[in-house]
A and B are shown apart, each in its own frame.
Chain A
C-alpha cells in the first residue's frame, strides 16, 4: 500500500496539524518508511494468533462505583481563557 501526498494532507487535516508543502513531503517519506516496515511484518502468518490490543499482557483494573471527586470548578476555571456563569466560553460553534 502506498501513500499519496493527498492522503498525508488529509490525515494532517483530520488531526488538525498544519503542514507546509516541504513538511508534507517529509511526512510522506517518513510515513512511507513506516508502511514499508508494516508490509515486511505482514509477511508473517498470523492467522492463528489473536490480535494484540495492548502492549502489556494484563487485564484492566476496575474501580468501584463511588463518587470520590468534589466540586473544584473554580480552581479549574482559574486558568481558562474565558468563563461565564460557570461555563467555559469558546468561539461559537454551530452544527
Chain B
C-alpha cells in the first residue's frame, strides 16, 4: 500500500528579551546555576507575575510577519503539572485567545511552492533544567531558564514529508531571526521543535493516530526522527496493528524514537485562566507601530530580487535564507547594479567557502560589500579574469582578516580600494594591449611549429593547446577572448 506521511510542527522559539517574561531576572545564557532565578521564578509565596512588554512586542511582530490575526484581548492560562523544574506546579501559557492566531508560512521545496497554515502562536514561560547525573541518586535543579519567554508556533498538519517539515522549520528559523525576535541558537536551545507525525493510506482524507516527538534541537534530528517514526508506524499498520497515541523521544545515537514513560493522566493539564494576570489588551496603535518597524520580509525580498534582477528562484531562495546574506547581497549589488548575477555567484560561492573555513557569519565577514563589489567590477570591465580574481580575493581576505574587524563594525572607508591596490601592486592586470599580445602570440607560434601544422590540417584541439601556451607565457593575465581572436586571425591568415 502507498502511505502518506502527515506532519505538524510545534516550534518553541526563545524570545530575545533581556529579562524574563514575568520577572526582572536576566535571560543571559551560561550563568552559574540559579544565579538568574529570582523570587518570582522560584515561586516563593506572595510573588506575582508582571508581563514583559518586550515579549509581547516580539509576538506581535511575528504575527504581522506571517499575516496572522493579533488577538486583543489575549488571555494567559495555567497549564498544571508537577515536575521539580516547574516550581509553581503550573506553567503560565495561553489556551483560549492566544496572542497570535492563524497566518501562513510559504516554503519552497525544489521548484514547488507550498503554503503551510499556522494554527496559532502563543506566549509562555520556559521551565527550568533537571540534571540527572552525578548527584548521588538525587536530581539537580537549575532554575535559570525558568520564566524565559517562549513563543510556541503551532502549524496545521500541512507537511507531507520530512523534507517539507525541515524546510518549514528552517523557514521559521530564518524568519524569527530576520525580524529580530529570537537568536535562533539551537545549541543553546533557543529554537526547538516538537513533531506530530501520523501516516494514512494515500488518498485517504482521515488523519491517522499521531505520535508527538519531543524536543528536537537540530534540523538533522528533525528529519531523521520523522523518517524513523513514519517507518515505524507504517510497519505496525502493515502488520495489522494499531498506533497508540503517545509522546516519544528521539535518540540520535540509536537513530530511533521511543515512548516516554508517561503516566496515563500526564496529558490532563486542567488549563484555566490565570487569576494573577489580567487580560492583555493590545491597542491598534501598538500593532501599527510594530508594523512600521518591520523590515522587508524574506518572501517580499525574494520576489523583488526575482523581478528586479531576474535571478532564478534557486538564487533568490539562497540569498534570502538568512538576513545577514540578504543584507550583504543588497549592499554589494547596490555598488554593482549592472551585474546582479555575478554578485550572487560570489556571495553564494566563494565568500561562504572562506567564511565557513573560519566559522564566521556574513555579519562578521572581514571584507565589506564595497570591497567585494570593486573586485567584481574589475572582472566585469576586463581588468582581470575570473581566475585571477579568485587569487586577488584570496589576498584581499588574508589582508582584511589581519585587522579582524567585521565589516559591519567598522566605519573606515580606507580600504575600499583593496582590490585595486592588490591588482596594481602585483601587476595582475590583464594584458589587453594588442601589440603586447601579438608579440607573445608570435613567439608561441614560432616555438610550436608542430601544433600550428596540426591546426592547419584541421585539428581544432591544437588551437586550444596554442592558446594555452599563450596564457602560460602571460602567466594567466592575457585576456582569453582577445588571445583567441588574434591567434585565429594569425593562423588563418
Q: Report A's interface with B, CB cutoff 8 A.
A: 10, 13-16, 51, 53-56, 58-69, 71-73, 76-77, 82, 84-95
Whether B278 and A59, one on each chain, are in contact in the complex, defined by CB atoms closer than 8 angstroms, is yes
Whether B135 and A89, one on each chain, are in contact in the complex, defined by CB atoms closer than 8 angstroms, is yes
A89 to chain B, nearest CB (A): 4
Stretch binding the partner chain, chosen from B27-35, B61-69, B357-365: B27-35
Residues on the A chain within 8 Å of B143, using CB = 88
Per-residue CB contact flags for chain B residues 265-292 toward chain A (1 = under 8 Å, else 0) read 1001010010101111100000000000
Residues on the B chain within 8 Å of A68, using CB = 19, 24
Whether B54 and A53, one on each chain, are in contact in the complex, defined by CB atoms closer than 8 angstroms, is no
- Known contacts being A59-B281, A60-B281, A87-B142, is A65 close to B53, with CB within 8 Å? yes
- Known contacts being A14-B270, A61-B50, A93-B130, is A69 close to B139, with CB within 8 Å? no
Q: Report B's interface with A, CB cutoff 8 A.
A: 17-19, 23-26, 31-39, 42, 44, 50-56, 73, 75, 80, 82-84, 96-97, 130-132, 135, 137-143, 249, 260-261, 265, 268, 270, 273, 275, 277-281
Whether B34 and A77, one on each chain, are in contact in the complex, defined by CB atoms closer than 8 angstroms, is yes
- With beta carbons under 8 angstroms apart, the residue of A60, A86, A91 that contacts B139 is A91
Chain A minimum-CB-distance residue to B26: A67
- Known contacts being A14-B80, A56-B278, A76-B37, is A65 close to B18, with CB within 8 Å? yes
- Known contacts being A56-B278, A90-B139, is A65 close to B54, with CB within 8 Å? yes
Q: In the complex, what distance in Å separates the CA atom of A16 from the CA atom of B82?
A: 9
A65 to chain B, nearest CB (A): 3
Residues on the B chain within 8 Å of A77, using CB = 34
Chain B minimum-CB-distance residue to A54: B278
Contacts A14-B268, A59-B73 aside, 8 further interface pairs with beta carbons under 8 A come to A14-B270, A54-B275, A65-B53, A66-B19, A73-B32, A84-B135, A84-B140, A89-B139
Residues on the B chain within 8 Å of A59, using CB = 73, 278-281
Q: In the complex, what distance in Å separates the CA atom of A16 from the CA atom of B80?
A: 11
Whether B84 and A66, one on each chain, are in contact in the complex, defined by CB atoms closer than 8 angstroms, is no
Q: In the complex, what distance in Å separates the CA atom of A63 from the CA atom of B55?
A: 10
Q: In the complex, what distance in Å separates the CA atom of A46 from the CA atom of B188?
A: 48
